[in-house]
Chains A and B, each alone.
Chain A
Amino acid sequence: MKSDGIPSGCAISGLMSEDGRRIGGKVIIRSIACMHDRSNGLGGGFAAYGIYPKRKDMYAFHMMFDNIQAKENTEEFFKDHFNVDKDEAIPTQRQNGISNPPILWRYFLEVPENKLEFLSERDYVTKTVMKIHSEIDGAFVASSGMNMGAFKGVGYPEDIGSFYKLEDYSAYIWTSHGRFPTNTPGWWGGAHPFTLLDWSVVHNGEISSYGINKRYLEMFGYKLELRTDTEVIAYMFDLLVRKHKLPIEKAVEALAAPFWKDIDRMEPQKKKMAIALRQVYGSTLLNGPFSIIIGHNRGMIGLNDRIKLRPMTAARKDDMLYMASEESAIREIAPDLDEVWSPMAGTPVFGTLKAGVE
């Protein structure tokens, strides 16, 4: 099948077992491949949660290097800043449609105690990621969370999935993305998902408020250097949920805030919170068309922009939650569903890992 070149937006698909059952990577590849025509071969990727149970308490850095020098510089940097428990090539196989991959390597890292005198472990890791992106030429952090990883590159998503041999991994959350870039160039680091710590974002759309979202994040020390608007979403969750400690529902409400006309009709307690959120977090409002799936260690969130300018369908079957740009991508892997719906504009869908499950 060949894309006819009409920009149709990107494709996203995500699935999660709220019971924490591990699901093989073949399933998500089938789902995203079903929406082949929504991508143009310039980017595809996956995020998987629960894939490194043996080293689940270490930061798994998935790295992309343009050349050996970048790899050596990064390893030098890691040696100074972390205890490296293990490093290895990320397993790949030759795949038609995938050319010129960077050097793909993963590192399992622990933060030495003595580095945490002045800041928290997660702030330390966040800073490390920013530092690599801004200071080490040719090095890119694809993901940096615990017990999770991002697998992405330039190509159709199903080809990227085979290239990374995702059938060998099992995860309780899978998200995926097929890219149709129009506004930013196609490069390996620029494919989705975008990640920070265990946050991952796959995104269909364009953030028209990128300019102010970026400047707002920069006020808090985030460095946005990836030439794309999607990274702001990952950083925004990191800032609002991890640093500002907002309940995740409130963070989502800040990003896709209700309209004033609806806020004015809310009951007083809710109204007060909604007004305060817009007053304080106006610069985090994600404006413009988007449907996104956010992954984190305890769950998955689906969200549309305030007037739903991008498609998103959600479905449930037993302990499974599915979200995708098109219902077909869900039916492809789960023909028999308990419930299928189209989430309303600005209304989030939450998948939450059951308490006690890891």
Chain B
Amino acid sequence: MESQLPAEFIVNIDHERCRKCKRCVMNCSFSAIEFKDKVTANNRQCVACHRCATFCPENAITIIHNPLDYKDGYNWSPEIRKNILKQAESGGIILTGMGNPKPYPIYWDHMLIDACQVTNPSIDPLREPMELRTYLGAKPEYLEFEGNNDVSLKTELAPQVKLDIPIVFAAMSYGAISLNAHKALAIAAKRMGTLMNTGEGGLHEDLAGYTDRIIVQVASGRFGVTSKYLNSSALVEIKIGQGAKPGIGGHLPGEKVGEDISKTRMIPVGTDALSPAPHHDIYSIEDLSQLIYAIKETTDYKKPVSVKIAAVHNVAAIASGIVRAGADIVMIDGFRGGTGAAPMIIRDHVGIPIELALAAVDDRLRQEGIRNRASILVGGSIRQSADVVKAIALGADACVIGTASLIAMGCRVCQKCYTGNCAWGIATQKPELVRRLNPEVGADRLCNLLTAWGHEIQEVLGSLGINAIESLRGSRERLRGVGLSQETLDILGIKHAGIGQ
């Protein structure tokens, strides 16, 4: 049956300008453009990924929303009606990609940062050192020294991982994204002194030279997990949950599992790679503790172990349990975090905002006097350096960026990652599309982004009159809320703008 759904976008081709070079036809990976004597759009297929428009040498292509109006109805919005039509035609769950696009409050945009005037001078980051270095890992409550005159350190610290900038790349598996995207992330992580994360898809052998800058993930599917894999890393992360789809597993369709992915994931070619919703050996916190220590044993206590969870209602108590279970790092992924594929109902309706989750976790760990025992990483829609500054002021040790790093590599957030047709060579395994992403060029763009954000963070530190990132970490006194309820302010642990010290 022909779909009754109208096209979402209209592709306009200016035939006056078009030279019929067909570059757009070659570039469109969604079959939205054909050549029939002239360039012709198949509007229904267009996802607004901008590939054609970007590469048209004559700037002859524009893409607009289909101006088809719906009969007014605030409650029965066009999107709701379209979803019903889709399901009436298919009988299936609506799949989607990327992060939650719904207009839930974005608390980052309701927090403002302090600055120095007169009594505490601001510091010029171009003249003075402005330190962003951060170490991830468990810290003891205090240090012990020995000796009287020639003092030496008695305490042995748990393993620490150095970050030159408190921003790491998020877990995105080889399978969800291409090998070239993985390579770009690894090269950039090494160059910038930060980390990339394999996600749950195992570690491709081409990344062997970057292992000291790689977080290797152990998820419920245990793809590619071997003792060698665990030891080829800066740190190991146990993935319990993901912000975009808390409480559910993952599914990499068999058509994406080619030779290379099969080898990396250690599954037969062409089979679906299913990650169960829970780890089937973790049904409670004591099981998690066993896995943490199994990994620590395997890595000879030389790698910090991180546990990643989605931000859900009871996140503070869960995080506290994770720290007590022996994790060196807790990674919290907010409900706006991205995904390669998730049911729309989960992505758009499950979980809580990272800002509130972070504040609650940091508070809870401090109340229990165990904040030092784990670093806190947060992700789930860190969009700009200002979000990083605010997250660190709320109490994070460092931030995790997924979508932002993909955008830097060319992603247009068209939310079609799950189709495998990514025109930018990122979320696809088709060789002809993958080769569109040059790992070196991708890495340069990622480095540029981190360099720019690093400078911006330094500017803010300077204006705050501090010259080390640890003086911002957890310093909520330097944040003020605007337009937030008292309850929200209390959860965030900040005062409303207009209130002094």
- Which residues of chain A have a CB within 8 Å of any CB of chain B? 7, 9, 182-184, 205-206, 208-212, 214-216, 218-220, 227, 243-247, 249-250, 257, 259-261, 269, 272-273, 276-283, 285, 287-289, 306-307, 309
Contacts and interface: CB of A to CB of B under 8 A. Distances in A.
Contacts, number: 122
B236 interface: no
B160 to A, nearest CB: 6
Contacts of A244: 142-143
Interface in B423-441: none
Contacts of A243: 142
Interface stretch (B97-105, B144-152, B313-321): B144-152
A208 B116 contact: yes
Contacts of A245: 142, 144
A289 B468 contact: no
Given A219-B371, A246-B145, A285 B501 contact: no
Nearest to B365: A219
B139 A279 contact: yes
Given A269-B152, A289-B465, A306-B467, A212 B474 contact: yes
A107 to B, nearest CB: 31
24 contacts: A182-B118, A183-B119, A183-B501, A205-B120, A208-B120, A208-B464, A209-B475, A211-B476, A211-B478, A212-B470, A212-B474, A215-B366, A219-B369, A227-B501, A250-B143, A259-B131, A269-B152, A273-B151, A279-B160, A282-B473, A283-B474, A285-B468, A289-B465, A307-B467
A206 B131 CA distance: 20
A210 B371 contact: no
Interface of B: 116, 118-121, 123, 128-129, 131, 133, 135, 137, 139-140, 142-145, 151-153, 155, 157, 160, 366, 369, 371-372, 393, 464-468, 470-478, 500-501
A243 B142 CA distance: 9
B470 A246 contact: no
A281 B140 CA distance: 10
A112 B372 CA distance: 35
A73 to B, nearest CB: 28
Given A212-B474, A246-B145, 5 more contacts: A183-B500, A211-B393, A243-B142, A269-B152, A285-B468
Contact of B155 (A261, A276, A278): A276
B10 to A, nearest CB: 52
A279 B121 contact: no
Contact of B143 (A215, A219, A281): A281
Contact of A280 (B372, B464, B500): B372
B473 A276 contact: no
Contacts of B119: 7, 9, 182-183, 206
A245 B120 CA distance: 31
Contacts of B476: 211, 215
B495 to A, nearest CB: 11
Contacts of B475: 209-212, 215
A276 B143 contact: yes
A310 to B, nearest CB: 10
Contacts of A247: 145, 151
A261 B145 contact: no
Contacts of A206: 119-120, 465
A249 B477 CA distance: 29
B87 to A, nearest CB: 49
B420 to A, nearest CB: 43
A219 B468 CA distance: 21
Nearest to B120: A206
B477 to A, nearest CB: 3
A211 B474 contact: yes
B477 A211 contact: yes
Given A244-B143, A280-B143, A289-B465, A273 B129 contact: no
Contacts of B133: 260
